[in-house]
């Protein structure tokens, strides 16, 4: 008998929809894989660095404006869209207070300055502790989405067998932040290390984490063997012990804190003459890849208990954390092999995983009910 799971539509609580003409293609890819809604990251060009059009700062899009662009590009088909405010040197406690009161501001995103794609507007963490921004967020119940990597590191501090930018961040910076703002709701985004898993597990219920398909499936060996640049994303895929810790966290039947956020990040040009754009694209294929990862972690998705764990991770924990309704509409995942193709965006294209690793099929397929 073919394994199949009928699940509520799910929320992708970390995705990049970018800007311009390709947005509608990226939105359609989300809808095609059963997304009821998205949390659309603000590292656009220009960044989404203010809440309302009337906020008195220049050089940024507002959440109000960006949300309009998403809706015009087909986002009206989503039940819910959240766009976090990009925390910059211009973010003030006043902006947070007014934004939350307006109903437009639900979350803010911290980027380590220059730490990843379009993170040039990021500003050091300590600034938001000193200027009252985190306190204002905590008071108003605004979620902090955190890209947890220490910035400004190089060489062995950036990535080594014993150190990496994410491990450093969760050991050196997060405990103090948690202690200073015990009521602040935090999502540790796209976690990749056993240290991040331990941090989230040892925290109260207002600290949770998103996990991507690539960090559940792959390790650094997959990236470096043949320099598979479609797997190059930040934070980098890590080691087997890290992947084990993340797999154990998401498959735990009692998991309430770890949920789906693909970090699907379309790049029409990945490799350049002097480096590589960071970001893996999983539009259209994420639930299939998550199912593959659960089975590689040792769960049998024929089993109803395993299916329940999968449903918690993909469909229930995330919306519960963000206070979103679980949709009544469903979609179905079947263990039937399907093809994976590039996504055409006009004259450009984006290569999804696992095609970017040379595999043009995937063990699962999806049917919208």
Closest CA to 230 of 174, 287, 294, 279: 279
Which DSSP letter does residue 162 get?
Answer: S
Among 338, 326, 332, CA closest to 307: 332
Q: Quick one: which of 313, 210, 208, 301 has its CA closest to 252?
A: 313
SS3 40: strand
Q: Which of 12, 55, 242, 263 is catalytic?
A: 263
116 contact choice in Zn ion, ligand DOR, none (CB below 5 to 8 Å, kind-dependent): ligand DOR
Query: What does the alpha-carbon distance between residue 214 and residue 203 come to, in Å, rounded to a whole number?
Result: 25
With binding defined as CB under 5 A, does residue 263 bind Zn ion? yes
Total of chain residues touching ligand DOR, rule CB under 6 A: 11
What is the H or E stretch that residue 96 is in?
helix 93-102
Residue showing tokens 């797997």: 231
Q: Counting contacts by CB under 6 A, is residue 16 touching ligand DOR?
A: yes
Query: How near is the Cβ of 54 to ligand DOR at its closest, in Å?
Result: 27
- 319, 11 in Cβ contact below 8 A? yes
Closest approach, Cβ 369 to ligand DOR, in A, equals 31
> In terms of Cα–Cα distance, which of 8, 13, 1 is closest to 264?
13
Toward ligand DOR, which CB reaches closer, 233 or 246? 233
SS3 230: helix
Pick the piece of the chain touching ligand DOR (CB under 6 A) from 116-124, 216-224, 336-344, 351-359.
Answer: 116-124
Do the beta carbons of residue 44 and residue 116 sit within 8 Å? no
291 lies in the site for ligand DOR, by CB under 6 A: no
Between vectors from CA 277 to CA 274 and to CA 279, what angle results, nearest 5°? Answer: 155
Nearer of residues 17 and 41 to Zn ion, judged by Cβ? 41
Q: Which is nearer to ligand DOR, 81 or 316 (CB)?
A: 81
47 part of the interface to ligand DOR, by CB under 6 A: no
Rule CB under 5 A: say whether 12 interacts with Zn ion: no
Task: Out of 70, 278, 291, 315, point to the residue binding ligand DOR (CB under 6 A).
Answer: 278
Count Cβ atoms below 10 Å from residue 219 Cβ, excluding itself.
18
Q: Can you tell me which of 33, 137, 233, 301 binds ligand DOR, judged by CB under 6 A?
A: 233
Neighbouring CB atoms inside 10 A of 47's CB total 24
Are 100 and 32 spatial neighbours (Cβ–Cβ below 8 Å)? no
Q: Which of 234, 245, 293, 353: binder of ligand DOR (CB under 6 A)? A: 234
Using CB under 6 A, which of the segments 94-102, 114-122, 251-259, 326-334 binds ligand DOR?
114-122
Active site residue 263: yes
Q: Whose CB is nearest to Zn ion?
A: 263
Quote the strand ranges of the chain, DSSP E.
4-8, 10-15, 35-40, 48-50, 61-62, 80-82, 85-86, 107-110, 143-146, 186-188, 207-211, 258-260, 271-272, 275-276, 330-334, 338-339, 343-345, 348-350, 361-362, 365-368
CB of 160 to ligand DOR, least distance (A): 20
Whether the CB-CB separation of 170 and 199 falls below 8 Å is answered with yes
- Residue of minimal Cβ distance to ligand DOR: 279
166 touches Zn ion (CB under 5 A): no
Residue 311 Cβ vs ligand DOR, minimum distance, rounded to whole Å: 27
| 265 binding ligand DOR? (CB under 6 A) | yes
Nearest residue (CB) to Zn ion, 83 versus 307? 83
117 binds, among ligand DOR, Zn ion, none (CB under 5 to 8 A by kind): ligand DOR
Give me the least distance between CB of 60 and ligand DOR, in Å please.
Answer: 17
Q: 279 touches which of Zn ion, ligand DOR, none (CB within 5 to 8 A by kind)?
A: ligand DOR
Residues that are catalytic = 263
Residues lying near Zn ion in the complex (CB under 5 A): 41, 263
Point out which residues bind ligand DOR (CB under 6 A): 16, 43, 116-118, 147, 233-234, 265, 278-279
């Amino acid at each position: 008998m073919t394994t199949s799971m009928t699940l509520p539509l799910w929320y992708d609580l970390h995705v990049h929809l970018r800007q311009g003409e390709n947005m509608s293609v990226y939105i359609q890819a989300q809808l095609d894989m059963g997304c009821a809604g998205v949390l659309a990251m603000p590292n656009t060009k220009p960044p989404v660095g203010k809440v309302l059009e009337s906020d008195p700062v220049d050089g940024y899009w507002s959440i109000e404006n960006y949300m309009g662009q998403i809706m015009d590009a087909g986002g009206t088909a989503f039940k819910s869209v959240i766009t976090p405010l990009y925390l910059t040197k211009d973010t003030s406690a006043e902006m947070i207070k007014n934004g939350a009161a307006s109903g437009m501001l639900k979350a803010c995103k911290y980027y380590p300055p220059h730490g990843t794609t379009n993170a040039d507007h990021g500003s050091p963490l300590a600034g938001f502790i000193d200027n009252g921004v985190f306190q204002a967020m905590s008071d108003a119940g605004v979620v902090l989405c955190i890209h947890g990597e220490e910035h400004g590191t190089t060489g062995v501090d950036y990535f080594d067998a014993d150190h990496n930018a994410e491990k450093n961040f969760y050991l050196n910076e997060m405990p103090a932040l948690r202690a200073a703002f015990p009521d602040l709701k935090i999502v540790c985004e796209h976690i990749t290390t056993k240290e991040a898993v331990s941090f989230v597990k040892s925290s109260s219920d207002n600290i949770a984490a998103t996990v991507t398909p690539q960090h559940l499936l792959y390790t650094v060996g997959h990236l470096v063997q043949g320099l598979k640049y479609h797997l190059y994303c930040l934070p980098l895929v890590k080691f087997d012990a890290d992947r084990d810790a993340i797999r154990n966290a998401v498959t735990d039947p009692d998991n309430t804190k770890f949920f789906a956020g693909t970090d699907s990040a379309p790049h029409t040009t990945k490799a350049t003459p002097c480096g590589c754009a960071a970001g893996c694209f999983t539009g259209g294929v994420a639930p299939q890849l998550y199912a593959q990862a659960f089975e590689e972690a040792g769960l049998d998705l024929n089993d109803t208990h395993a299916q329940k764990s999968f449903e918690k991770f993909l469909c229930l924990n995330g919306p519960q954390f963000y206070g979103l309704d679980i949709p009544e509409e469903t979609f179905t995942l079947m263990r039937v092999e399907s093809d994976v193709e590039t996504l055409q965006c006009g004259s450009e294209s984006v290569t999804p995983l696992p095609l970017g690793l040379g595999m043009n099929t995937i063990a699962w397929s999806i049917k919208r009910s």
